[in-house]
């Protein structure tokens, strides 16, 4: 099972969700991390385990898109040996891949993206789709996500980000109906090794998580 630390950034600091779907966040507390500085935090995460992939969500850009963020540029440069999955809230095809570094892959989220036809027309496949679930329903700007064929899809349970409510396999089943040939990355609600075993039993080989890692609830 591949574990991927999932880091949320707001005002260039590491934050954690307090109320999931309501998009309320606070600085990561001292009992979980010695720092909220993104670069220092990543160094701390890497001291816990030899992760080779990290997910970054630029919450400010997700709310109001901006072409690039200096702190993400610095993270990609500072940790050039790590592969990053970056969700910066792209809406349009022209906004994809604005970062110069090669050690990241673009995350396209159903919550924000609208130009799926251009993905098809440009034969573009170097991305990961984030299927964002709220209240058990896939949240999207339009239905274009059904027309693409992503290699990987994140089953993003927004309601349970930062919580330890368990692996939401219902979301996984819904994604498999739309994308039967895509690999699925599970995100949200992972709190223990039992959740990881549940994911594994459902043929999931990658999980995004953070709180359980920081609380040392996972045996690598």
Q: Work out the number of other CB atoms within 10 angstroms of the CB of residue 33.
A: 18
Nearest to 70 by CA among 98, 36, 94: 98
Using CA atoms, how far residue 140 sits from 91, 137, 209, in Å, is 11, 9, 23
User: Domain map of the chain by residue range?
Assistant: 2-214
Superfamily of structural domain 2-214: Aldolase class I (3.20.20.70)
pTM attached to this predicted model = 0.94
pLDDT of residue 147: 97
CA-to-CA distance for 197 and 220, rounded, in angstroms?
12
Q: What is the pLDDT of residues 59-105, one digit of tens each?
A: 999 999 988 889 999 999 999 999 999 999 999 999 999 998 889 99
Return the exposure string of 51-62: e unless at least 16 CB atoms fall within 10 Å of the residue's CB, then b: bebbbbbbbbbb
User: What are 162-208's pLDDT values in tens digits?
Assistant: 777 788 899 999 999 999 999 999 999 899 999 999 999 999 999 99
Q: What pLDDT is attached to residue 21?
A: 47
CA 20 – CA 70 distance, rounded (Å): 26
């Amino acid at each position: 099972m591949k574990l991927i630390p999932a880091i949320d950034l707001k005002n260039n600091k590491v934050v954690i969700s307090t109320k999931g779907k309501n998009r309320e966040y606070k600085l990561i507390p001292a009992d979980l991390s010695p720092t909220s500085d993104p670069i220092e935090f990543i160094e701390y995460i890497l001291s816990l385990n030899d992760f080779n992939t990290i997910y970054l969500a630029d919450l400010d850009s997700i709310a109001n898109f901006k072409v690039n963020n200096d702190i993400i540029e610095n993270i990609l440069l500072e940790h050039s040996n790590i592969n990053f999955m970056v969700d910066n809230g792209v809406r349009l095809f022209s906004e994809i891949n604005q970062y110069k570094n090669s050690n990241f892959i673009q995350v396209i989220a159903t919550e924000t993206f609208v130009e799926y036809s251009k993905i098809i027309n440009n034969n573009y496949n170097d991305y990961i789709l984030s299927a964002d679930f709220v209240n058990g329903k896939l949240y999207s700007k339009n239905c274009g996500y059904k027309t693409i064929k992503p290699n990987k899809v994140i089953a993003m349970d927004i309601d349970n980000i930062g919580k330890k409510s368990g692996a939401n396999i219902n979301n996984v089943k819904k994604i498999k109906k739309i994308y039967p040939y895509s690999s699925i990355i599970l995100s949200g609600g992972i709190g223990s090794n039992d959740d990881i075993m549940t994911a594994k039993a459902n043929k999931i080989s990658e999980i995004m998580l953070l709180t359980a890692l920081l609380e040392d609830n996972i045996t690598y």
